Amino acid sequence: MIRTLPNSKSYLSGYKLFTLLYFIFLFAPLVVIMILAFNDSMFPSLPWKGFTLGWFFGEGPEKIGIFYDKMNLRAITTSFKVAISVSILSTIVGTMAAFLFEQEDFKFKGALYFLMIAPLVIPGVILGISILLFSTTVGLFFENTFGIDIKILRPGFWLIVFGQFSFITTIVTMVISARLRKFDRALEWAASDLGANRFAVIWFITLQYLKPSIIGGAAIAFLMSFENFNTTTFLISSQPTLPIILYQQVRDGSTPVINAISFILIVSASIVAVANIYFRKKEEKLAQ
């Protein structure tokens, strides 16, 4: 049944087979994408026509590799800018929210907490359209009443950032809160007993303790922002993010250059994931 009990051979091998099949299911699509990124063919499909790095470094005219593909490169740049802005904003506000919900007491805390976790269960599509509708209404109001055109209320860079920020902050808050909950507040009391004021206590004691979760939260925020499609798709204007133009290429068919992009994304996401797990494990070991 479990590892400390005697188990029959058939139980264990049946279980292993099931798990193996599951892992094949899990990895098959990723492996296929990565292999086909190196196929010397104009289509992302078999047969195998030989190895090429053309979908990474090709300068055209036949094969335009990702490093020379202006449209995709521009989208990657936009995505980077959005993701950095979102992760900075949501980490700051998420940290504050963690403090607010874990350490402060106030009226309607329960209601506000409920609001804070609501974005977890609101479909991203709905977040996208409601923010689009709201910003348009407010924008129109300012334009009609005061005759001023507020750019950040129009679809575009900042609206994408706000839209992603609205739900990513919830996730960052939960990551940081989880660690803050384990924090021994006696340390804070000791620090204030030694003469530190509230902000010195937070800066020198609590934030230091929270550092791993803040970094982890920022990494998750970056990745979620970089990959977001559902909310972003309603908020773009002339400068789409990478998932948006990748989607169009996937839908309409494209050369294996999207495999090359995917290859880079898979590898970098794996590195971030492994680093994240590694640091958390190390942290846990230190804690013991």
Partner 1 sequence: MQIALSVKNISKKFGNFTAVDNVSFDVEDGKFFSILGPSGCGKTTLLRMIAGFLQPDTGSVEISGKNMLGVEPNKRPVNLVFQNLALFPMMNVYDNIAFGLRRRGERGKSVEQKVNSMLKRVGLPDFGLKKINQISGGQKQRIAIARCLVLEPSALLLDEPLGALDAKLREHMKVELKKLQAEVGTTFVYITHDQSEAMVMSDYVAVMNAGHFEQLDTPQNLYSNPSSAFVAQFVGKNNKFIAKQGKDEDGNFFAETEDGHSFKLSKPVDLKKDDDFIELYIRPEAMIINPKVTKENFNILDVTVKALLFDGGNSRLLVEPENSKQELIISLPQNRQFDYIKAKDRIKIGWDPEAAVCFKKTEGKIYEEL
Partner 2 sequence: MKNSKISKIRWSFIIFFIPVFLWLFLLIVLPHFELLRMSFQGRSGFTLDNYRAFFSEPIYWLTFVRTASYSILVTFIVLIIALPIAFFITKVVNLRIQGVLLVFLLVPFWVSELIRVYGWMILLRESGVLNHFLVGIGLFKQPTEMLYNDITMIMGLVYTSMLFMIIPLIGVMESLDDSLIEAAYDLGAKKIAIWREIIIPYSMPGIVSGSIIVFMLVLGSYLTPKLMGGKNSLWFTEQIYNQIITYFNWNQGAAFGFLLLVLSSFIIWVALKLTKQDFREVIK
Interaction mask 4-33, partner 1, x per CB under 8 A = xxx---------------------------
Q: Tokens representing 69?
A: 């593909």
Scanning 69-77, 80-88, 117-125, 208-216 for contacts with partner 2 by CB under 8 A, the matching segment is 117-125
Angle in degrees, CA 248, 251, 257, rounded to 5: 70
Nearer to partner 1, 1 or 286 (CB): 1
Q: CB–CB of 67/57 below 8 Å?
A: yes
Count of residues near partner 2 by CB under 8 A: 91
Q: Is 266 in the site for partner 2 (CB under 8 A)?
A: yes
Near partner 2 in 75-104, by CB under 8 A = 92-93, 96-97, 99-100, 104
* DSSP code for 106: -
For partner 2, the closer CB: 60 or 228: 228
Shortest Cβ 57–partner 1 spacing (Å): 53
What does the alpha-carbon distance between residue 176 and residue 88 come to, in Å, rounded to a whole number? 14
| Long-range own/partner contacts, residues 272-279 (CB < 8 A, 24 or more apart) | 272/219, 272/223, 275/219, 276/216, 276/219, 276/220, 279/212, 279/215, 279/216
Measured in degrees and rounded to the nearest 5, phi and psi for residue 74 equal -65, -40
Stretch that binds partner 2, among 66-74, 80-88, 142-150, 158-166 (CB under 8 A): 158-166
Write out the binding residues for partner 2, residues 27-66 only, by CB under 8 A. Answer: 27-30, 32-33, 36, 43-47
Which residue among 49, 151, 185, 281 contacts partner 2 (CB under 8 A)?
A: 281
Beta carbon nearer to partner 2, 5 or 61: 5
> Residue 214 touches which of partner 2, partner 1, none (CB < 5 to 8 A by kind)?
none
CB 40 within 8 A of CB 52: yes
Whether the CB-CB separation of 233 and 164 falls below 8 Å is answered with no
Per CB under 8 A, 112 contacts partner 2: yes
Query: Residue 39 forms beta bridges with which residues?
Result: 51
Residues near partner 1 (CB under 8 A) are 4-6
